[in-house]
Amino acid sequence: MRSEHWLFTIPLRLRSLFRRAQVDQELDDELRDHLERKTEEYASQGMTQEQAHRRARLDLGGIEQTKEKCRDARKVNWIEDLIQDLRYGLRMLRKSPGFAAASIFTLALGIGANTAIFSVLDAAILKPLPVNDPDSLLIVEWINPEFPAGVGNINGDFHRISAGRFQGSSISANLYRKLAQEQTVFKALVGIADPNSVAIVVDGQPAEQVSLQYTSGNFFQGLSVLPVVGRPFLAEEDRVGQEPVLIVSHRFWTERLGRDQNLLNHKVRINDVPAEIVGVTPPGFFGLRAGQWSDVYAPLAMRVAFSPTTGDKVARGEDDWDWWVRQVGRLKPGISKADATADIAGRFRAVAAQNLNVDASKVPELITLPGRRGFDSLNPSDASALWILTLLVGVLLLIVCANVANLLLARSVARQRESAVRLALGASRGRLFRQHLVESGLLGFLGGAAGLALGYALAQSVHLMFESGRDASSMFDLRLDTRVLGFTASLSILTSVLFGSVPALQAASAELNDALKSQARSVMGRRLRLPALLVSAQIALCLTALVAAGLLGRSLKNLKWTDIGFDRENLAYVSVNPGQAGYPTERLRSYVDRVCDEIARLPGVLRVSTVGHRPMSSGGQLSRVSIPGRSLRIEKGVVAPEQAATVNWVGEGFFETLSIPLLAGRTVDRRDVRADGEAVVVDERFAKHFFPNENPLGRHFGFNPNDNARYEIVGVVQDSHYNSLRDEQAAAVYEPFSPDPRKAIHFVIRASVDSQTLEGAVRKVIASVDPAVPLTEFHTQNELIDRLLRTERLLAVMSGAFGLVALTLAAVGIGGVLAYAVARRTNEIGIRMALGAGTGDVVRMVLRDSVSMTVLGILVGLPGAYAIAKVLKATLFHLQALDPRTAFLSFFALIVVAILAAWLPAQRAVRIDPMVALRYE
């Protein structure tokens, strides 16, 4: 029965939809025909043609109304209503292109900014790993009351979670393999290590640095990430002594191998060890940590092969005291997380007790964590920065909504006549409301589409700032995927409803009488209160944005120009890693000397030296200080800053190159390297902290309690910052350079030429001394500092941009409302001027409105500004949250903007000719 029904009606509905003109014409004809017949009948009853015609028309009622009712009767489907509304909306927008452009632009700005921040947030924190069924993944870590017995070294994470409990991420390769072998609860248990930087030579080209991660043999199969070219690792390949094999990332394959399907054609060397590429990962696979892209994967056992020779006989990485492999397991379906955890913990206890030769109770306890998003990608400060940005960008969107709502309100007032006529023609108020809402929806859609494009572009630049230095190994996978699209779509709908509902309500409640009469003479009363309130709301939000921008900006400035203890200008660092290129210990010193000489000879170079850890770069080494005769409470694996010192090795002339003054004693050079100990230089902090009230020169200390007289202090230099601009610095120890092929070497250069020239010249030098040694990095000191500050810079720039946009929008908002107020009060102003008011009075009137809106906004915005200051408190440097200068500057900026925005409307008000105004209705 139903299907028949549809069969009959579908052709009809389609016709109404697609052949409107024809259908309309037919309706017209039908009614006209009826009128004719009616007229005839009346005429036949004796009336005149004219009378009959009039009578017939009266009987019918209004033709247009009847037509409209017929049209309504045809419509059972709300879709037809919607389409009609859309067409109408489009037509209306086309009629006022200025308004449309302004609103779409502002919406695009607001939605775009939100999309950008969301896509970064999503990629960094929210999105699951791009693997099959990420919810079935579990990360396996362990907890222990102290540094595990029998373990010497832990890579990955190791930190205290509470008193007497530590959490660590990695176990030894051996233990991992034993665990992975028999699995009942996991479909697969894969192992992966943190990325290493290695030198790679492809087909004889110059060496470059890549990020390499060692993984278990079953890594790719276990994660169901099957290579698109070639094959995954085989279990047998994860054995010491096997031919090294590699799997590369899709990006590496595209950029370095030209998408060549014949992988085995290419000759590759990793740290000067030949290896074969056997597979390519799918595009979009970056590893297990968002923000960390590895370009090369190798089996765990290859760590032995690729590590530079140190003369150790022991197979590196295969001992049970070296814990460096993280584990991730894929749950078998039907097994609960708790069961899996208990099972694997028990198994580990047994295996580890046996291998480490310790009691089972001393073995760390395995725990599992959800692995859906992989390993944590952002450190807490970056994560909180991102949330702050999300907040600010939300505030911006609200301002945008208020702005567009105002524009719509102004427009709906102008269209009141139209609304009134439509109501008179039979439209229901509900219909009118819906139609205005659809118009808003249209604006929202267009703004959202533009915003999506803008957001994508913005996200790329936010991203660039976030991972400073465009380092290929730390990138987020920012794509316009369905999640981002969905977010933008929902945001567009939400904002449309937000800014559209009130103007729609106003339009639908248009009073017929008021509108159809000639312009009512109301002053800025009821009609303009709403827009004025919206503008005040905008200003309140703007205050929040400005305060945030001000605080973050000043904090950044304080941080950046903090005194770091040495001259940061004209200083550059060149990094090389000869150990990776195969240099043994004996040849290192001569290499370094040669390079130093050559660089010193370059024009413009004032001083050269070498250093192990570049000042003001991240990372570094913190070691516990042991002093003979003093006992220290030692907590294995954890170094308390007050008991430790940062250690750096320096070459000859280091302190002079950096302009760090020597306060006592002398500097160190190669003669101070002795087999049984070294002479070292310490900084003032060290001297004051560890040897207060005595002469530190000649005193001894060590980093190992069993060898605590190894180092002799021969000099004291001024304090300088090591790896942070913030205050808390540990004491510093400077050792003389002693060659170690495992470590990178940085040349520090003070030059009078610009960095680009210097870089070019230095590259040539490095290549000429030995082309097999890659120049891994070149950075000026200021660049390094900027890198350290990347989060703060990002926040300052973004909040500054948002503040500026918010201010502009507020200015536009004020200007708009004032202009409209002036237009409506033309009459009143004309009267006043005729009665003797001067230009000054008129201007004052306009200004008063402007300033009152602004002041109201500021007052309303104070709590919000206070709240955001509190939120930012943790990240501010040498700045209190309620910083008075920032607050006053923000108020000042808003007042100035209010006055400036009032200028144009005031001018217009002043130019009102009283005679014209009085006649104007």
Query: Which of 24, 66, 367, 480 is close enough to bind another protein by CB under 8 A?
Result: 66
Contacts to another protein from residues 27-46, by CB under 8 A: 29-31, 33-34, 36-38, 41
Scanning the structure block, which residue is given the tokens 């248009």?
510
Question: Which DSSP state fits 635?
Answer: B
Gap between the Cα atoms of 622 and 637, Å rounded: 11
* C-alpha separations of 266 from 155, 278, 281, 802 in Å: 32, 10, 17, 49
CB of 913 to another protein, least distance (A): 51
Calpha distance 610→622 (Å, rounded): 20
Out of 14, 17, 76, 915, the only residue in the binding site for another protein (CB under 8 A) is 76
Looking at the Cβ atoms of 62 and 641, the one nearer to another protein is 62
Match 């994508």 to its residue by tokens.
456
Pick one of 3, 4, 675, 756: the residue that binds another protein (CB under 8 A).
4
User: Of 29 and 841, which has the nearer Cβ to another protein?
Assistant: 29
Tell which one of 24, 72, 481, 593 touches another protein (CB under 8 A): 72
**Do 879 and 555 form a contact (C-beta atoms < 8 A)?**
yes
Q: Helices 790-824 & 884-910, crossing angle to 10 degrees?
A: 30
- CB of residue 59 to another protein, shortest distance in Å: 5
Asked if 22 touches another protein (CB under 8 A), the answer is no
Cα separation, 700 vs 710, whole angstroms: 7
Question: Using the rule CB under 8 A, is 12 a contact of another protein?
Answer: yes
Strands (E) located in 137-207: 137-144, 153-154, 158-162, 165-168, 170-171, 186-192, 196-202
State the minimum distance, in angstroms, from the CB of residue 411 to another protein.
33
Residues in binding contact with another protein, number by CB under 8 A: 29
Provide the token pair at 588. Answer: 């290192």
Q: Could you tell me the smallest distance in angstroms from the CB atom of residue 921 to another protein?
A: 37
Nearer to another protein, 41 or 563 (CB): 41
Residue 35 beta carbon to another protein: minimum distance, rounded to whole angstroms: 9
Query: Which residue, 61 or 152, has its beta carbon nearer to another protein?
Result: 61
Cα distance between residue 200 and residue 726, in whole Å: 36
The tokens describing 21, both together, are 């003109």
The answer to the question of residue 431 lying near another protein (CB under 8 A) is: no
Any contact of residue 81 with another protein (CB under 8 A)? no
User: What does the block give as tokens for 61?
Assistant: 């009622």
Stretch that binds another protein, among 54-62, 94-102, 331-339, 388-396 (CB under 8 A): 54-62
Do residues 766 and 574 lie in contact, with contact meaning Cβ atoms separated by under 8 Å? yes
The two three-digit tokens of residue 750, written as one number? 């003070």
CB of 48 to another protein, least distance (A): 20
Output the smallest distance, CB 908 to another protein, in A: 49
Give the one residue of 21, 45, 73, 236 binding another protein; rule: CB under 8 A.
Answer: 73
**C-alpha neighbours within 13 Å on the C-beta side of residue 42:** 19
338 lies in the site for another protein, by CB under 8 A: no
The CB-of-23 to another protein minimum distance in angstroms stands at 10
User: Do residues 842 and 908 touch, judged by C-beta distance below 8 A?
Assistant: no
Interface residue with another protein, options 43, 70, 86, 273 (CB under 8 A): 70
Q: Which is nearer to another protein, 41 or 243 (CB)?
A: 41
What HEC string does 299-331 produce?
Answer: ECCHHHHHCCCCCCCCCCCCCCCEECEEEEEEE
Q: Does 51 bind another protein (CB under 8 A)?
A: no
For residue 561, give the nearest of 786, 802, 393, 339 by alpha carbon. Answer: 786
Give the one residue of 18, 19, 49, 69 binding another protein; rule: CB under 8 A: 69
Pick the piece of the chain touching another protein (CB under 8 A) from 2-10, 173-181, 277-285, 848-856: 2-10
- Cβ at position 408, least distance to another protein in Å: 33
Under the binding rule (CB under 8 A), the answer on residue 47 touching another protein is no
CA 628 to chain centre: 49
Quote helix, strand, coil % in the chain, to nearest 5: 55, 15, 30
Q: Which is nearer to another protein, 5 or 91 (CB)?
A: 5
From residue 196, alpha-carbon distances to 164, 327, 614, 619 in Å are: 31, 17, 19, 15
Q: What phi and psi, each to the nearest 5 degrees, are found at residue 826?
A: -50, -45
Q: Which helix (H) or strand (E) holds 863?
A: helix 839-872
Distance in Å, CB of 427 to another protein, minimum: 15
Among 49, 51, 65, 519, binds another protein (CB under 8 A): 65
Q: In angstroms, what is the minimal distance from the CB of 5 to another protein?
A: 5
Judged by CB under 8 A, which of 61, 145, 760, 771 binds another protein?
61
Which residues are at the interface with another protein (CB under 8 A)? 4-5, 8-9, 12-13, 26, 29-31, 33-34, 36-38, 41, 59-62, 65-66, 69-70, 72-76
